[in-house]
Every structure is written in structure tokens, then in C-alpha cells.
Amino acid sequence: EIVLTQSPGTLSLSPGERATLSCRASQSVSSSYLAWYQQKPGQAPRLLMYGTSSRATGIPDRFSGSGSGTDFTLTISRLEPEDFAVFYCQQYGSSLLTFGGGTKVEIK
Amino acid sequence: EVQLVASGGGLVQPGGSLRLSCAASGFTFSDYDMHWVRQSTGKGLEWVSGIGTAGDTYYPGSVKGRFTISRENAKNSLYLQMNSLRVGDTAVYYCAGGPHLVRGVLNAFDIWGQGTMVTVSS
């Protein structure tokens, strides 16, 4: 099983600032198979990124993803008020899927 | 409108059973691999089962042998039979789906339902 470790646990930032979220895997993940999800309180998660760097339908271009091997990053270039939420990475592309523990992006 | 509606949650005693259902609409259900994902209160996401378009099934070790996922394409429906339930199975259970790639290679989840609450307690 691939274990995904996200850091930091909480990120306190102001609107307009840049957010950088990390996801580290216990073993190499094919860059085709790393996704990011956003979850707001009381809501189901929403797919943001797939294949490391491809934005899902309707996701604004202030969201970007990068990385390879065991280290992946989600960047939000300029935080909007609606971006504050919990973000999860996920590795897929096999028959055993795992999520990271999540990073909460909160308003400073 | 693309929609997944989960139902069947409730209160059950430890050792008991429960069957969850998920009704799909607005997309070609038979073209999607489908999954159940759970989330305990205040905790992260945990994938608990998946089923491919051909009916191939996948489970993590934490539920293997206790949970059974199934689908009925004619009814656009997904199910999760949960047996030998434990207090630690208490969570909101989401159904989710991703477009089929190839057998044994599961995709990211671009469709999510609203979740149904399962509480295991005496």
C-alpha cells in the first residue's frame, strides 16, 4: 500500500496569497495517477486535479499541480475567499487506492 | 444533471449488517468504475471499495472479507453490503465514480454523491 503524507497539516494564509501544499508518497507514484480534491465543510469532496497537473472541468487556472516520483505539489497562485477548505491528494491507477491525510487551508 | 444519491445509512449494533445503495443519473453509469469512500467525523477520506465496469471488485485490507460492493447497471445502481460491523466503521459513506480506463487500473473520482451516515454503536 502506498502511504501519502501531506504537509503542512494546516496552512494559515490571507486572500491573495500563494498556497503551496505538499504530498509525499512512501513509494514512487506514476505521475499519471496523482489527484487532488477539495472539500468544504458539510460537502462531498470535489476533484481539482488529475494526472498530477491536469485541471478537472471548471477548475480555475489559479490551481496548478506538479511533481513526480514521490513528491507532488498543489499550488494556488492567489487565494480567493472560496478556496479556503481541506485538500486531499490521492494516488490511483492501480487496484489499491489511497488518500493523504489532508491539508486545511484556513483564513489568517 | 449528473447526480449520485446515497441511501441506507443508519444506526446498527456492533456485529450487525447494513446495505447501502447509490442511485446514479445524468451520466452513462456502465462506463464508470464506481467506489465507496468513507469519512469519520473530523477525519480524512478512506477508500473502502471499488468495482469496475466488468464487475471486478477491489478492497483495502481494512474491510476485505466484511464488505461487498456490487452494481446493477440496468438500474444505474451501486450497493455496499457491510457485515460484521465495528465501532470503527462509523462514518459518512460517499459513493463516487471515475471514467473506466482499463481493467485493474482505477481512475480518479470526478463524480461524488452527498453521503449517508453509518453509526455502529451499542
pLDDT-derived band at B118, boundaries 50, 70, 90: very high
The confidence score (pLDDT) of residue A31 equals 67
- Best of A4, A53, A95 to disrupt the B interface by mutation (most B CBs within 10 Å)? A95
The confidence score (pLDDT) of residue B104 equals 82
pLDDT in tens, B66-95: 999 999 999 999 999 999 999 999 999 999
Provide, rounded to the nearest whole percent, the portion of chain B with pLDDT above 90. Answer: 94
Which residue in chain A is spatially nearest to B58 when comparing CA positions? A95
Cβ atoms of B19 and B78 closer than 8 Å: no
Rounded Cα gap, residues A87 and A40, in angstroms: 9
pLDDT-derived band at B101, boundaries 50, 70, 90: confident
Q: Identify the burial level of B55 via C-beta atoms within 10 angstroms of its C-beta, where 0-12 means exposed, 13-18 middle and 19 or more buried.
A: exposed
pLDDT in tens, B30-42: 999 999 999 999 9
Which residue in chain B is spatially nearest to A3 when comparing CA positions? B46
pLDDT in tens, A74-104: 999 999 999 999 999 999 978 899 999 999 9
Q: Chain B contacts of A94, Cβ < 8 Å?
A: 104-106
DSSP string, A84-108: -EEEEEEE-SSSS-EE---EEEEE-
pLDDT-derived band at B105, boundaries 50, 70, 90: confident
Q: What is the DSSP letter of A24?
A: E
Q: Mean pLDDT across chain B, nearest whole number?
A: 96
Instruction: Give the up-direction half-sphere exposure of residue A31: CA atoms within 13 A in the CB hemisphere.
Output: 10
Q: Do the Cβ atoms of A95 and B104 come within 8 Å? A: yes
The confidence score (pLDDT) of residue B47 equals 98
- Best of B62, B105, B111 to disrupt the A interface by mutation (most A CBs within 10 Å)? B105
Q: Considering only residues 33 to 52 of chain A, which have any Cβ-Cβ distance to chain B shorter than 8 Å?
A: 33, 35, 37, 39, 44-47, 50-51
Phi/psi of residue A106, nearest 5 degrees: -115, 160
Distance of alpha carbon B118 from the chain centroid: 12
Q: Do the Cβ atoms of A92 and B61 come within 8 Å? A: no
CA distances (Å), B86 to each of B2, B12, B110, in order?
33, 9, 29
DSSP string, B31-81: GEEEEEEEE-TTS-EEEEEEE-TTS-EE--TTTBTTEEEEEEGGGTEEEEE
| Predicted confidence (pLDDT) at residue A2 exceeds the cutoff of 80 | yes
The confidence score (pLDDT) of residue B82 equals 98
Find, among A50, A87, A21, A10, the residue nearest to B98 by Cα. A50
Mean local confidence (pLDDT), B45-73 = 97
Grid cell at residue B85: 460491523
pLDDT in tens, A20-61: 999 999 999 976 799 999 999 999 999 999 999 999 999 999
